[in-house]
Amino acid sequence: MRWSKSHLHTLRDAPADAEIPSHKLLSRGGYIRKVAPGIYTYGNLMLRSLRKLERIIREELDKRGAQELLMPMVHPAELWQETNRWKEMGDGLLKFKNRNAHEFCLGATHEEVITDYVRKDVKSYRDLPVNLYQIQTKYRDEIRPRFGLMRGREFIMKDAYSFDVDPPAALKSYQLMYDAYQAIFDRLGLHYRIVEADAGNIGGSQTHEFQVLAEAGEDHLMVCDDQGQTQCQFAANIEVAPARDSQTASVDASSALPLEKFATPGLKTIAALAKSTGLKESQLVKTMFFSSNPGTDPQNKALMPIAVCLRGDDEVNPVKLKNALGLTNPPLLLTDEEVRQVTGASPGSCGPVGLKIPIYFDHALEGRQNFIVGANEDDFHLKNVNLDRDVKTAGQFKGFKDLRLARAGDQCPRCGKGRYVSKRGIEVGHVFYLGTKYSKAMNASFLAQDGSSHPIEMGCYGIGVTRTLQAAVEQSHDADGIIWPRAIAPFDVALVVLDPDDDEVMQNASIVERELQSRGFDTFMDDRAERPGVKFKDADLLGFPLRLTIGGRGLKEGIVEVVTRHDKKMEKVPLEQVVDHATRCLQHSGQKSSRAPA
Quick: pLDDT tens for 458-493: 999 999 999 999 999 999 999 999 999 999 999 999
The predicted pLDDT at position 255 comes to 81
**Residue 249: what pLDDT?**
43
Rounded mean pLDDT of 376-389?
Answer: 95
In the chain, the amino acid numbered 311 is R
Residue range 529-578, pLDDT digits in tens: 999 999 999 999 999 999 999 999 999 999 999 999 999 999 999 999 99
Q: What local confidence, expressed as pLDDT, does residue 53 receive?
A: 98
Query: What pLDDT was estimated at residue 231?
Result: 77
Angle between helices 465-475 and 21-28 (to 10 degrees): 100
Banded model confidence at residue 294, pLDDT cuts 50, 70, 90 = low
- What average pLDDT does the segment 301-314 reach? 89
DSSP states of 431-452: EEEEETHHHHHTT-EEE-TTS-
For residue 303, what pLDDT band results from cuts at 50, 70 and 90? confident
Residue 261: pLDDT over 60: yes
Enumerate residues 6+ apart whose C-beta is below 8 A from 212: 190, 191, 192, 425, 426, 428, 468, 471, 472, 474, 475
Report the run of H or E that residue 525 belongs to, with start and end: strand 523-526
Task: Provide the pLDDT for residue 401.
Answer: 96
Predicted pLDDT of residue 250: 47
The pLDDT assigned to 592 comes to 45
What pTM value is reported for the model? 0.86
Question: Looking at residue 252, what is its pLDDT?
Answer: 54
Please check whether residue 401 is in contact with residue 364, taking contact to mean a CB–CB distance below 8 angstroms. Answer: no
pLDDT the model gives residue 402: 96
Angle at CA of residue 513, ends 512 and 516, nearest 5°: 80
User: pLDDT by residue (tens digit) across 350-363?
Assistant: 999 999 999 999 99
What domains are there in the chain, each with its CATH number? 46-72+107-242+420-474 (3.30.930.10), 260-401 (3.90.960.10), 491-591 (3.40.50.800)
* Rounded percentage of the chain residues whose pLDDT exceeds 70: 94
Task: Check residue 298 and give its pLDDT.
Answer: 46
Average pLDDT rounded to a whole number, residues 390-418: 91
Q: Are 495 and 548 in contact (CB under 8 A)?
A: yes
pLDDT digits (tens, 9 = 90+) for 447-457: 999 999 999 99
For all residues of the chain together, what is the average pLDDT? 92
- Cα dihedral 370/375/376/379 (nearest 10): -140
Q: What is the pLDDT of residue 254?
A: 63
**305 contacts 398 by C-beta, under 8 angstroms:** no
- Are 81 and 89 spatial neighbours (Cβ–Cβ below 8 Å)? no
Q: Is the pLDDT of residue 296 over 50?
A: no
Q: Please, which contacts does 497-501 make with residues 24 or more away whose CB atoms are closer than 8 Å?
A: 497/525, 497/526, 497/527, 497/550, 497/551, 498/532, 498/535, 498/549, 498/550, 498/551, 498/552, 498/553, 498/554, 499/551, 499/552, 500/527, 500/528, 500/529, 501/529
Provide the strand spans (E) within 390-441: 397-401, 420-435
Where are the strands (E) in 150-263, listed by range? 154-164, 191-196, 206-213, 219-224, 235-237, 260-263
Strand, helix or coil at 562?
strand
Q: Is the pLDDT of residue 381 over 70?
A: yes
Q: What is the mean pLDDT of residues 33-62?
A: 98
Q: Report phi then psi at 243, rounded to 5.
A: -105, 105
| pLDDT score recorded for residue 365 | 94
pLDDT tens profile 87-143 = 989 899 999 999 999 999 999 999 999 999 999 999 999 999 999 999 999 999 999
Whole-angstrom Cα distance, residue 466 to residue 148? 10
Among candidate residues 1, 33, 41, 5, the one with its CA nearest the CA of residue 17 = 33
pLDDT reading at 597 higher than 60: no
Q: Rounded distance, CA 92 to CA 144, Å?
A: 11
The confidence score (pLDDT) of residue 326 equals 87
Q: Which strand (E) or helix (H) includes residue 167?
A: helix 167-187
- Pairwise CA distance, residues 466 & 468, whole Å: 5
What average pLDDT score do residues 153-174 get?
97
For the residues 241-245, what does the mean pLDDT come to?
88
* Distance of alpha carbon 540 from alpha carbon 496, whole angstroms: 11
Are 402 and 363 in contact, with CB atoms under 8 Å apart?
Answer: yes
Distance of CA 507 to the CA centre of its chain: 48
* Under 8 Å between Cβ of 87 and 442: no
Burial class (CB in 10 A: 0-12, 13-18, 19+), 34: middle
Mean pLDDT for the stretch of residues 484-505? 97
Q: Which of 265, 264, 247 is nearest to 383 (CA)?
A: 264
Q: In this model, does residue 301 exceed pLDDT 80?
A: no
Is the model's pLDDT at 244 over the cut of 90? no
What share of the chain in percent tops pLDDT 90? 85
Evaluate if residue 299 carries a pLDDT over 80. Answer: no
Angle at 384 between CA 383 and CA 387, to 5 degrees: 115
- Judged against a pLDDT cut of 60, whether residue 247 lies above it is answered with no
